[in-house]
Amino acid sequence: MKLVVAEKPSVANTIAKVLGVKNRQNGYIEGKDYIVTWCVGHLVGLAMPDEYGAEYKKWENLPILPDKWKYNILSGTKKQFDVIKKLMNRSDVESVVCATDAGREGELIFRLVYNEAKCDKPIERLWISSLEDIAIKQGFQDLKPGTDFDNLYKSALCRERADWLVGINASRYFTVKNDKTLSIGRVQTPTLNMIVERDTTISNFTKGYYYTVDINCKDFTASSSKFESKDEAQNLAQSIAVAKI
């Protein structure tokens, strides 16, 4: 018996239909050779700072650099986690098929559940980019060893932990420093800066003239880059004329 873990219920239903798995239970669908279940996005997440020590309840105590990372089962989806954990540890389940989205985040969602469930059964990876019936069938005929995706999982851990380190430490630091709540993010803040810079450029824009040199090439017209100086454009035009282009 193989346990198939999808990322969301809709995908699980599609996979179950293709595999001929029809016996619907609470949180999973069971068949002769497969059990299909699902996550609901992330079921496991990084612990908050105060779980690394009571001193971190005070935002002034920085930096927070965990030696060993802690994870929690998210309260809102604990029921589904418990379903998956029980299925992973069923005696008749011989292997687990990771059928979450084919990408870094999908890999992370599955691996965190697998680890927290204390499962040690072999992992197989369904790696498909389409949910068409034929793609799913071909994917199950070509299941890949889970170990092939260990580095993808590690890269996802790096992304997740970098977000936590920057978000938690920087948000607390700037909040305390400025005496008001400020949210800082590894991606969020640079992106916001790009928007602000662009908005500032637009606000400070002043109209001006620029010059280009156009060359008639019969079937099309070639244009030079923009010149702020008319003399520069004229010099280019003269150079082209001399070269008889």
Average pLDDT over the chain reads 95
143 in the same domain as 220: no
Instruction: Report the relative pairing of strands 221-223 and 214-216 from DSSP bridges.
Output: antiparallel
Span 116-128, pLDDT tens digits: 999 999 999 999 9
Decide if 92 is inside a domain.
Answer: yes
42 in the same domain as 142: yes
152 in the same domain as 225: no
% of the chain surpassing 90 pLDDT: 84
Phi, psi of 73 (to 5 degrees): -80, 125
Question: How does residue 245 score in pLDDT terms, banded at 50, 70 and 90?
Answer: low
**Mean of the pLDDT values across residues 55-67?**
96
Decide if 170 is inside a domain.
Answer: no
Q: What share of the chain is helix, strand, coil (3-state, %, to 5)?
A: 50, 15, 35
Number of domains within the chain: 2
Which among 89, 124, 157 is the end of a domain?
157
222 in the same domain as 108: no
Which among 141, 157, 173 is the end of a domain?
157
Query: Distance between CA atoms of 72 and 112, rounded to whole angstroms?
Result: 10
Q: Which residues of 210-242 are buried (b: 16+ CB within 10 A; e: fewer)?
A: ebebeeeeeeeeeeeeebeeeeebeebbeeeee
**Mean of the pLDDT values across residues 104-110?**
97
Decide if 129 is inside a domain.
Answer: yes
119 in the same domain as 23: yes
Residues spanned by the domain of 223: 214-243
| Residue that has been written with the tokens 């084919």 in this structure | 102
98 in the same domain as 16: yes
Which among 136, 157, 178 is the end of a domain?
157
Span 167-177, pLDDT tens digits: 999 999 999 99
Decide if 208 is inside a domain.
Answer: no
Decide if 9 is inside a domain.
Answer: yes
The domain that contains 114 carries what CATH number?
A: 3.40.50.140
The DSSP output letter for 43 is S
Decide if 138 is inside a domain.
Answer: yes
Span 184-234, pLDDT tens digits: 999 999 999 999 999 999 999 888 888 999 988 888 988 998 898 888 888
Query: Distance between CA atoms of 118 and 169, rounded to whole angstroms?
Result: 30
pLDDT attached to residue 238: 87
Decide if 55 is inside a domain.
Answer: no
Decide if 59 is inside a domain.
Answer: no
Question: How does residue 61 score in pLDDT terms, banded at 50, 70 and 90?
Answer: very high
**What's the pTM?**
0.82
